[in-house]
């Protein structure tokens, strides 16, 4: 079996470290690992397959000989270095929002639009975490009943904002001073209806991502999306209350059976026995958990559901590694030597 030289950019961050776990667990054919981070991590090592591998400080030369570069070091790092890595011969899978809406860059969730990987120019974008879990849950329903409108409210975990935010939550819970807060308000015992910056239309960038990325991944510009995104004091796992309006009528039993067989979905829908998705149970799992299925009596062809997934796994690291696996399957990775 061929083995690949794999770079992980942001290898000391929450997503990057999870990528190393996922590459190991899935036995991804890594011949050589190149962990990369900022100058702050000079001298550190990354733990991979029982070895401690020195972290390299990012530079233009660090991508020489790399076949696949998994980026999770923020938008500005991706904007600068993803084209450099691609020019050096690597295929980049980028977790930041830098390239997602570029018409020449595929935005991919393997359970939904793997065919988009057949046409790439060296950079592939991994979608936003809240969008990934939503489209995995909705794709089979869209194929069968055609979604007209999605109203979604999110309950997003603190790990979605990186290691600084996890530190803020831990410090606030233990009563310690927060040296360098990630949020403009306390997050412990609080909810912040504020994820990323706000635009003139009153929506946040996270809400815009849910609108535009959903349409791009599902390949349907007619889907209307009305999002409200909220940060909650949960460590891992985003939850979403989703209301759907379909073009076509549906039966709840058929919806259950579609979801039970949908790739990447685990149905947990037995509320009378207290069975429904929860972030504590979804943490460190790769699936998208769906439950609380109910007809919406206030509209024709309306459905309510509750969707939970680990943002660091399916929302980031797992989806990225799955993209790399599909690239290998489709012969869409070229060895640099
Ligand atoms: N957290 C999530 O659920 C999630 C989900 C989807 C996508 N993402 C995206 O993934 C990216 C990373 O998120 P995270 O949660 O892992 O953040 P994080 O825990 O704060 O880690 C950031 C990583 O990026 C590295 N980095 C920062 N500035 C850099 C620079 N100038 N050059 C090289 N490396 C640099 C850091 O290295 P040092 O340790 O050396 O500073 C660290 O490894 C972001 O773009 C985020 O939007 C996150």
Query: Is 191 assigned a catalytic role?
Result: no
CA dihedral sign, ordered 320, 325, 329, 332: positive
Nearest Cα residue to atom 26 of ligand 1: 73
What is the span of the domain harbouring residue 28?
Answer: 4-126+316-329
d(CA 141, CA 249): 11
CATH number of the structural domain spanning residue 116: 3.40.50.720
Looking from the CA of residue 16, the nearest atom of ligand 1 is 16
Cα distances (Å, whole numbers) of residue 179 to 162, 167, 172, 233, 235: 15, 9, 11, 18, 19
Q: Is there a single domain that holds both residue 50 and residue 29?
A: yes
109 domain-assigned: yes
60 domain-assigned: yes
199 domain-assigned: yes
- Residue 40 Cα, ligand 1 centroid: separation in angstroms? 12
Nearest Cα residue to atom 20 of ligand 1: 162
pLDDT score for 331: 84
Q: Is there a single domain that holds both residue 323 and residue 283?
A: no
Nearest Cα residue to atom 47 of ligand 1: 96
Where do the DSSP E strands lie in 219-282? 224-228, 238-246, 265-267
pLDDT score for 334: 67
Q: Is there a single domain that holds both residue 119 and residue 206?
A: no
335 domain-assigned: no
Residues with CB under 6 A from ligand 1: 10-16, 37-38, 40-41, 58, 72-75, 77, 95-96, 129, 159-160, 162-164, 311-312, 315-316
Q: Is there a single domain that holds both residue 60 and residue 179?
A: no
213 domain-assigned: yes
Q: How many CA atoms lie within 13 A of 66 on its CB side?
A: 28
Q: Is there a single domain that holds both residue 112 and residue 192?
A: no
Q: Is there a single domain that holds both residue 181 and residue 51?
A: no
Looking from the CA of residue 58, the nearest atom of ligand 1 is 33
- Residue 304 Cα, ligand 1 centroid: separation in angstroms? 34
Q: Is there a single domain that holds both residue 141 and residue 120?
A: no
58 domain-assigned: yes
Token couple for 128: 């936003």
Contact 316, 126 (CB under 8 A): yes
d(CA 245, CA 151): 9
Q: Is there a single domain that holds both residue 92 and residue 227?
A: no
Nearest Cα residue to atom 36 of ligand 1: 10
Mean pLDDT by 10 residues, the chain (337 residues): 95 97 97 98 96 97 97 98 97 98 97 95 97 98 98 98 97 96 98 98 98 98 98 98 98 98 98 98 98 98 98 98 96 66
Tracing tokens 């070895």 back to the chain, one arrives at: 51
Query: Is 272 assigned a catalytic role?
Result: no
Q: Is there a single domain that holds both residue 156 and residue 303?
A: yes
334 domain-assigned: no
Where do the DSSP E strands lie in the chain? 4-9, 30-37, 45-48, 51-54, 56-57, 68-71, 91-94, 123-125, 147-155, 224-228, 238-246, 265-267, 288-295, 302-309
pLDDT score for 333: 81
pLDDT score for 332: 83
Looking from the CA of residue 128, the nearest atom of ligand 1 is 6
Q: Is there a single domain that holds both residue 69 and residue 181?
A: no
Residue 173: CB atoms within 10 Å = 12
Q: Is there a single domain that holds both residue 95 and residue 110?
A: yes
Q: Is there a single domain that holds both residue 284 and residue 165?
A: yes
Tell me how far the alpha carbon of residue 53 is from its chain's centroid. Answer: 26
Ligand 1 binding pocket mutation candidate from 162, 195, 234 (most atoms within 8 A of CB):
162
Domain total for the chain? 2
d(CA 107, CA 156): 21
pLDDT score for 143: 98
239 domain-assigned: yes
The residue annotated as part of the active site, out of 47, 208, 238, 272, is 238
Where do the DSSP E strands lie in 128-178? 147-155
Looking from the CA of residue 75, the nearest atom of ligand 1 is 45
d(CA 123, CA 82): 7
CATH number of the structural domain spanning residue 265: 3.30.360.10
Phi then psi for 248, rounded to 5 degrees? -110, 155
């Amino acid at each position: 079996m061929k083995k690949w030289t794999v770079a992980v950019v942001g290898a000391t961050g929450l997503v990057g470290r999870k990528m190393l776990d996922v590459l190991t667990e899935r036995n991804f054919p890594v011949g050589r690992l190149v962990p990369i981070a900022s100058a702050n991590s000079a001298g550190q090592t990354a733990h991979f397959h029982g070895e401690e591998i020195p972290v390299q400080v990012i530079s233009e030369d660090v991508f020489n000989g790399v076949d696949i570069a998994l980026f999770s070091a923020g938008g500005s790092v991706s904007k600068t270095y993803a084209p450099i890595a691609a020019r050096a011969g690597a295929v980049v899978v980028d977790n930041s929002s830098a390239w997602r809406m570029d018409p020449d860059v595929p935005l991919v969730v393997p359970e939904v639009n793997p065919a988009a990987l057949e046409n790439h120019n060296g950079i592939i974008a991994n979608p936003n975490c809240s969008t990934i879990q939503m489209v995995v849950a909705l794709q089979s329903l869209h194929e069968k009943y055609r979604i007209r409108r999605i109203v979604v409210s999110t309950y997003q975990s603190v790990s979605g904002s990186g290691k600084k935010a996890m530190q803020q939550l831990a410090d606030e819970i233990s009563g310690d001073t927060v040296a360098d807060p990630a949020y403009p308000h306390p997050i412990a015992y609080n909810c912040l209806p504020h994820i990323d910056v706000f635009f003139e239309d009153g929506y946040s960038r996270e809400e815009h991502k849910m609108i535009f990325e959903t349409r791009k991944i599902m390949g349907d510009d007619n889907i209307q999306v009305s999002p409200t995104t909220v940060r909650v004091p949960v460590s891992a796992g985003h939850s979403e209350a989703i209301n759907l309006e379909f073009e076509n009528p549906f039966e709840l039993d058929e919806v259950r059976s579609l979801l039970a067989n949908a790739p990447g979905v685990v149905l947990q829908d037995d509320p009378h026995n207290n069975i429904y998705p929860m972030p504590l149970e979804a943490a460190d799992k790769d699936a998208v958990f769906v439950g609380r299925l109910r007809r919406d009596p206030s509209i024709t062809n309306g459905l309510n559901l509750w969707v939970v997934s680990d943002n660091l796994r399916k929302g980031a690291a797992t989806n990225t590694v799955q993209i790399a696996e599909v690239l290998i399957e489709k012969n869409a990775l070229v060895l640099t030597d």
